[in-house]
Every structure is written in C-alpha cells, then in structure tokens.
Amino acid sequence: MVDENNNNQGDIEKPQNSGDLVVGKERDELGMFLPGHEKLGGKPKGYVSPTKLLKEKLSEVKEVRIGDKIEQKTIMAIIVDVFIKLAVNGDLMAIKEIFNRLDGKQPKGEEEEKEKPQTLIDLLASASKVIEEKEREEAIEREEERKREKIEYEKEFKIKYGIQ
C-alpha cells in the first residue's frame, strides 16, 4: 500500500544520504556491531570452551594411595601413570600412543610405501637385488675359503720339504 506521501507502508526508515549511519542497540557510533552481537559470527556470551573445562578438570588435585602413602596428584598425572603402566604391561595401543605423542604421528601410508613395493615389477626387482647380493656374498666367502686353504697347503708343503 502507498500512503498520501507516496511512502510504502512497512518500510524501515532509511538514512537520507549514503553517509548517514543508522545507530541502534546493536551498533556503536561508527556503525560497527557491538561485541557479542550474534551477527559477528563469534561465540555467544557466556560460552565456555569444552577444552578449557577439560583442562580445568584435569588440573584438579586428588588424593592417591600408593602403597602405605597418600599422595596429592593431578587427575592428568594419574591418567599418565595408568597409561605408562598399561604400556609396560604390553598393551600395544598404549605403547603406540606413547610413541605417537613423543615422536609425532607418522603420516598414514608412509611406512607402507617404504616397506612394500608398489607393483609386481618392483617386487621382482627387489627380489632380484636380494638374490644378487646373496650370491655376491657367497662368492666372496668361497674365494676367502680358497685363499685360506691355499695358505694352509703352502704351510704344510714348506714344513714337509723344509722350505722357509
């Protein structure tokens, strides 16, 4: 509908020129949204991070009985102690997790690529290299054995015929 002054009803009052800013409850004098406004895309007022809550809880101190003594330990220290005991008792998941935390987690597939050939041709080439190396080692060993036998034969010959 249009009223007598040709204004649309229901229209919101607009600034008269583009330099004017609309100042309301949600904006400051420069037209910026006020801190905590929902349109800023940040966390709502009063939001508490789950990570912060977890860190606070893990830093709480509890009494722990160790043998005859009662000690004060943080919950995090208790968890670490249990985790280490699991690893010492052979729990592979605990061992793996400890090494991942100490050395950093190895990227997925990196270990497999180094250990396993990618194709049948690579597998055959690897097997061929292993066989060639083994044959080389055996040939060296046979040659060394022949040299030892020759030296032993020469010693016996010299002794037998009195040659020095």
Q: Tens digit of pLDDT for each residue in 88-102?
A: 888 888 888 888 887
The reply to whether 123 falls in a domain is: yes
**What pTM does this model have?**
0.40
The reply to whether 149 falls in a domain is: yes
State the chain's maximal CA–CA distance in angstroms: 143
d(CA 97, CA 91): 10
Arithmetic mean of pLDDT over the chain: 76
How many domains, the chain? 1
- Residue bearing the bigger pLDDT, 2 or 81: 81
- Predicted local distance difference test score (pLDDT) of residue 141: 92
The reply to whether 36 falls in a domain is: no
d(CA 83, CA 80): 5
Could you tell me which residues are beta bridge partners of residue 74?
61
3-class secondary-structure state, position 66: strand
- Residue bearing the bigger pLDDT, 145 or 15: 145
Range of the domain at 122: 114-161
Question: Which secondary-structure segment (H or E) carries 75?
Answer: helix 75-88
Tokens representing 157? Answer: 């010959």
The reply to whether 134 falls in a domain is: yes
Model pLDDT for residues 1-51, shown as the tens digit of each residue: 444 555 444 444 444 434 444 445 677 888 887 776 666 666 777 888 889
The reply to whether 151 falls in a domain is: yes
The reply to whether 55 falls in a domain is: no
For residue 61, pLDDT beyond 50:
yes
The reply to whether 56 falls in a domain is: no
The reply to whether 40 falls in a domain is: no
